[in-house]
């Protein structure tokens, strides 16, 4: 079978290029491993020119499979262009960007001491998409994905196209290199370790297949055999179709709740190994609760798509670009080439439900986009296509009309009526929403973070209100680095449900509450000094609870239900806790009737001040209070203390979530009196493989109740012990109360212990792990 030899460790790297490097690297060259970003950068406030230029990489390697005659160098991703030399021979110039490059080196490879030299040009080239005009994301330079040497026997399967539907119909179309008439292609389909079927030819009909679904993304294993060549592929039996009546997965109508994702990270750009790609997919599915991800605005790493296959996360890909369409033949030819390579790369993934075959938010171009449709028809007629635009009544050449709806400018409206997007009866998907209309930082005020979440709730509610709309895809999953022309002036677009460190904002919990069982998050800190005029802002609970009960200082205040009046179409509307007085006022001697009459004026006073009260409300408040207290001032002070618990006494608010009358979650909220750091991680160990391994350690400053201290900016000193390395600076400051530190493995001969030491003000923390 074909052998894939990964060559990702122990490269030499030097920023710059001179002709003398063709003979030997300069002595100042440093050792690096792949994936590699040409420069470690701050997480914000840096210039995009810092990663652009010429950079030289060298790798000395042996051929571990010399008995195989056919050899290809395989580059998963290099930004942007490269000139490649092997053993002194110029292999040519190649454009990679977001797509792989294969180079036939069969006649040049040696068994020992091969010298591979790659000159990377990461400068923005206006003749190559996505460039040509402004681009609202960064394109970090380097060999930022894996590299391998692939060895084949003389005759082999050069490509494979798998189609498997929910009825058990499987088609496997093979393309052969150097075909041998004496050989036949055969297949073995495995269900786990058990052989499900063996067959020759292209077609198999399986009775009652185990389907690939969102909740049970079952994958069969297909072994394809051709003489001495074998290859292994995953197969998911499923049917996915966008219709004018909505999106259907395995003939079950499914509302899409999606997010867009940029593949970049703080400090190291797009140079993330497989484990971090998987981590992002897991966050999107199991943290944000999304059922679809759009790889905006380019093709993502294969390990990300592999994880989407494994966990049941639908995916829409996209050709590289942003708004601009080049008029030059070279630009247009390059986009067609990218489209061709993207489809070949991704067409066997069960998670992939549509191809994005239009430059995001670009104008109509009948000639260009018709040609992309033809490429899809030739390579994969089984899947639909969509094209993303930001204007209505665009020419529709694709199967699905995808529209970026940014109409939301408050809490009254989230989306336009989808019937206004396009004339006629077509499948419609909202491919982006919110985003730049309300950028929100982790350290913003409680009011802004809450409105950010509620605006997303309004968009989702509007999406669910239109039964024929396939769904909506939020812009976006994570904050991301961008060019100087966009963002908040610090090279970050703060458009994410989570921040650039993958830490959730309020809106992330709103999304999670729609699909993830037992979500329970109190959005609101009840700190009056946080709000304008020191007035009260009602908290919300983002949850799938049937109802929420509130206790204050151990006393029952009230029961609150999902706000179906404001969000009637959401699966799980937010719970608005709009009365902090409730039944607790009875403890002051008021009757039920008096308490009922008090609640309205008191809460209005607390939220908007005395000027908001009508004369009638003021008189009602004064009369009732005076019945029980010597002075109005004394009674008002008692009510305020009862409601807010101000002063020395700590009487926490306790929010309790119930399902089927059974308590399943609770959260205390009160004044912060003590603080500590919480550590969590994406993994507990590191294991070298095709490349180095990496994990994310998230550090949050929280109070005694676990509430994030969003104004925390503590400086932390970081120290790596053992065979690990910090992927970024060793001195960081919390951003909005938290930050994530990324650790990578170094090569080891045997399993070793390692630790990340975190030196915080007056405290030392440790994250311990093993490396193998």
Strands 471-474 and 256-260: parallel
Residues facing 256 on adjacent strands: 471
Q: Is 750 annotated as catalytic? A: no
Instruction: Measure the CA–CA gap between 10 and 333, rounded to whole angstroms.
Output: 36
Tell me which DSSP letter residue 286 carries: I
Distance in angstroms between the alpha carbons of the first and the last residue of the chain: 27
The backbone region for 393, taken as left when phi is positive above 0, alpha when psi lies in -120 to 50, beta otherwise, is left
Place of tokens 């769904």: 471
Q: Return the half-sphere exposure (C-beta side, CA atoms, 13 A cut-off) of residue 80.
A: 21
Cα→Cα distances 580→436, 556, 632, 641, Å: 34, 10, 20, 11
Q: Which residues contact 591 (CB under 8 A, 6 or more apart)?
A: none
- Cβ atoms of 196 and 170 within 8 Å: the answer is no
CA 214 to chain centre: 17
Instruction: Measure the CA–CA gap between 255 and 292, rounded to whole angstroms.
Output: 10
204 φ, ψ (degrees, to nearest 5): -140, 135
Q: Residues 346, 432, 451, 549: which is the catalytic one?
A: 432
Virtual torsion, Cα 263, 384, 168, 315, nearest 10 deg:
20
Helix (H) or strand (E) holding 449: helix 446-465
DSSP string, 478-499: B-EE--TTSTTSSSEE---SB-
653-659 sheet: strands from edge to edge: 555-560, 547-552, 653-659, 662-669
Q: Which residues contact 4 (CB under 8 A, 6 or more apart)?
A: 74, 148, 149, 150, 151
Q: Residue 511: name the closest of 452, 557, 565 by CA.
A: 452
Residues facing 657 on adjacent strands: 548, 665
Instruction: Measure the CA–CA gap between 732 and 738, rounded to whole angstroms.
Output: 10
Residues facing 269 on adjacent strands: 265
DSSP string, 83-141: EEEETTEEEEEEE-TTS-EEEE-TTT--SS-EEEEEEEE-S--TTSTT-SS--SS----
Q: Residues 361, 451, 549, 594: which is the catalytic one?
A: 361
Place of tokens 């950068």: 41
Q: Is 530 annotated as catalytic? A: no
147-152 sheet: strands from edge to edge: 3-6, 147-152, 70-75, 101-104
- Cβ atoms of 601 and 613 within 8 Å: the answer is yes
Q: Residue 436: name the closest of 394, 402, 392, 480 by CA.
A: 480
Place of tokens 């179709």: 241
- What is the SS3 assignment for 514-575? HHCCCCEEEECCCCHHHCHHHCCCCCEEEECCCEEEEEECCEEEEEECECCCCCCCCCCCCE
Q: Which residues are catalytic?
A: 361, 432
């Amino acid at each position: 079978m074909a052998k894939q030899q990964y060559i990702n460790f122990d490269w030499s790297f030097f920023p710059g290029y001179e002709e003398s490097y063709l003979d030997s690297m300069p002595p100042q060259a440093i050792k690096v491993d792949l994936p590699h970003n040409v420069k470690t950068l701050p997480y914000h406030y840096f210039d995009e020119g810092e990663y652009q230029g010429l950079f030289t990489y060298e790798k000395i390697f042996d051929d571990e499979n010399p008995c195989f005659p056919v050899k290809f160098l395989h580059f998963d991703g290099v930004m942007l262009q490269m000139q490649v030399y092997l053993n002194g021979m110029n292999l040519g110039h190649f454009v990679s960007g977001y797509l792989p490059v294969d180079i036939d080196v069969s006649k040049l490879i040696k068994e020992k001491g091969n010298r591979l030299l790659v000159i990377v040009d990461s400068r923005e080239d206006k003749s190559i998409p996505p460039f040509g005009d402004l681009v609202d994301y960064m394109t970090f330079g380097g060999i930022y994905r894996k590299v391998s040497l692939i060895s084949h026997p003389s005759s082999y399967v050069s490509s494979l196209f798998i189609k498997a539907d929910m009825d058990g119909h499987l088609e496997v179309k093979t393309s052969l290199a150097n075909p041998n008439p004496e050989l036949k292609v055969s297949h073995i389909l495995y269900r786990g370790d058990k052989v499900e079927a063996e067959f020759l030819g292209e077609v198999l009909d399986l009775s009652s297949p185990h389907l690939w679904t969102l909740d049970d993304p079952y994958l069969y294993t297909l072994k394809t055999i051709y003489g001495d060549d074998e290859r292994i592929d995953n197969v998911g039996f499923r049917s996915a179709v966008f219709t004018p009546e909505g999106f259907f997965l395995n003939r079950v109508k499914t509302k899409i709740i999606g997010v867009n994702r940029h593949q970049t990270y703080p400090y190291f750009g797009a140079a993330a190994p497989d484990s971090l790609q998987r981590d992002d997919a897991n966050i999107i599915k199991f943290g944000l609760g999304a059922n679809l991800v759009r790889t905006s605005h380019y093709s993502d790493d294969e390990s990300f798509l592999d994880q989407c296959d494994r966990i049941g996360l639908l995916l829409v890909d996209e050709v590289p670009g942003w708004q601009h369409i080049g008029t030059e033949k070279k630009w247009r030819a390059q986009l067609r080439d990218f489209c061709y390579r993207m489809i070949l790369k991704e067409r066997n993934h069960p998670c992939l439900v549509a191809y994005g075959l239009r430059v995001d938010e670009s104008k109509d171009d009948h000639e260009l986009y018709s040609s992309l449709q033809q490429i899809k028809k030739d390579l994969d007629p089984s899947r639909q296509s969509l094209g993303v635009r930001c204007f209505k009544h665009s020419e529709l050449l694709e199967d699905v009309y995808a529209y970026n709806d940014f109409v939301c400018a408050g809490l009254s409206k989230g989306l336009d009526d989808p019937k206004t997007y396009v004339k006629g009866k077509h499948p419609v998907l909202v491919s982006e929403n919110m985003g730049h209309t309300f950028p929100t930082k982790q350290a913003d005020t409680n009011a802004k973070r809450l409105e950010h979440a509620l605006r997303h709730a309004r968009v989702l509610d509007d999406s669910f209100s239109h039964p024929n709309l396939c769904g909506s895809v939020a812009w976006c999953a994570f904050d991301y680095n961008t060019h100087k022309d966009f963002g908040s002036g610090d090279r970050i677009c703060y458009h994410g449900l989570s921040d650039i460190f993958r830490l959730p904002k309020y809106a992330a919990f709103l999304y999670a509450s729609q699909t993830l069982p037992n979500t329970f998050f109190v959005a609101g800190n009840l700190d009056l000094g946080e709000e304008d005029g020191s007035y009260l802002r009602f908290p919300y609970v983002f949850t799938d609870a049937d109802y929420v009960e509130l206790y204050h200082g151990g006393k029952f205040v009230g029961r609150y239900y999902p706000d179906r009046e404001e969000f009637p179409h959401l699966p799980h509307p937010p719970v608005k806790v709009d009365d902090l007085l409730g039944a607790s006022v009875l403890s002051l001697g008021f009757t039920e009737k008096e308490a009922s009459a008090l609640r309205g004026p008191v809460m209005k006073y607390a939220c908007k001040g005395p000027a908001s009260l009508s004369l009638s409300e003021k008189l009602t408040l004064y009369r009732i209070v005076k019945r029980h207290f010597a002075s109005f001032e004394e009674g008002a002070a008692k009510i305020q203390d009862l409601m807010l618990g101000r002063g020395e006494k700590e009487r926490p608010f306790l929010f309790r979530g119930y399902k089927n009358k059974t308590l399943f979650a609770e959260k205390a909220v009160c004044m912060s009196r003590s603080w500590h750091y919480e550590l969590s991680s994406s993994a507990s160990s590191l294991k070298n493989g095709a490349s180095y391994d990496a994990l994310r350690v998230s550090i949050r400053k929280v109070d005694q109740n676990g509430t994030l201290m969003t104004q925390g900016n503590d400086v932390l000193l970081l120290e790596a012990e053992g065979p690990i390395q910090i992927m970024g600076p060793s001195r960081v400051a919390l951003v909005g109360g938290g930050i994530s530190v990324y650790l990578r493995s170094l090569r080891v001969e045997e399993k070793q212990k390692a630790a990340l030491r975190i030196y915080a003000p007056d405290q030392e923390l440790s994250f311990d792990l093993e490396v193998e």
